[in-house]
Amino acid sequence: MKVLILTKKTLAAAAAAVIAAACLIAVPVLRSADGVPVGTAEKNLPIYNVDTSEKKIALTFDAAWGNEDTQQIIDILKQYNVKATFFIVGEWADKYPDDVRALAQAGHSIQNHSDTHAHMPKLSGDAIAGEITGCNRRLAELCGKEPLYFRAPYGDYDNSTVSGAAALGMETIQWDVDSLDWKGLIPEQIAQRVTEKTKPGSIILCHNGAKHILEALPLFIEPLQAQGYQFVTLEELILPKPYTIDANGTQHADQKS
């Protein structure tokens, strides 16, 4: 019978071997321009921005809570001839159906922000599908067509969220420019963040109901338009298939053979 004698030397060697093995299998965490983790090449990623040489950008709003400023947002966007994309929660649509219709009638894109604003990674596959299809149904009843794009509440997603949306024929959308309007920044701070971080193909995140969003909109729309940027809906920005999404969440058109 062999007896294994553990010494400080053998314990240290064993610990070193374990650490080395862990390093070999560790998965690096990549971060977006705003410093948020976006995953790895092995993870199912949403679209954060689009690879394009054209100065096209998408202004997006998440609508989940109040509606006090919806009409004012519509009026400001009309003033600057801007078409935006609104990610709407199903329960918000139930509370404010006239606002959803008004946004659609003004030519803005109406998209899916889940049915109840749940944390998607906490849900089962069936529950994820229910959140997406429930919101799709509500929005289709109000606007006459189902959304093409899904944004997870809180920007919180996992592989099941992205694959669940894809199984329903929908793209999952994030952003690469966070206005941080939800933090109560003053209008000038919001505008500075947006103008400094925007590049061709950017997707900008704003919120209806944010404290200073009405004052901030002209402060970044005007300079970006002066730089030659065109605000378009996601339907006009997102590339058709076939495409790839790199480890930073940038969507690229596949090279034709």
| Residues 74, 171: Cα–Cα separation, whole Å | 25
Q: Which of 62, 99, 115, 178 is catalytic?
A: 62
Helices (H), 26-62: none
Active site annotation includes 62: yes
Identity of the residue numbered 84: A
- Residue 206 is classified by DSSP as E
Q: Which among 246, 183, 181, 250 is positioned nearest to 220, based on CA atoms?
A: 181
**What tokens does 115 get?**
């049915």
CA distances to 43, 155, 157, 249 from 27, in Å? 10, 21, 18, 17
Task: Tell me if 220 sits within 8 A of 177, measured CB to CB.
Answer: no
Q: Coil, helix or strand for 59?
A: strand
> Which DSSP letter does residue 20 get?
H
Catalytic annotation present for 252: no
**70 neighbors 96 (Cβ within 8 angstroms):** yes
Catalytic residue among 108, 113, 117, 207: 207
Name the residue with tokens 């024929």: 169
Catalytic (active-site) positions: 62, 207
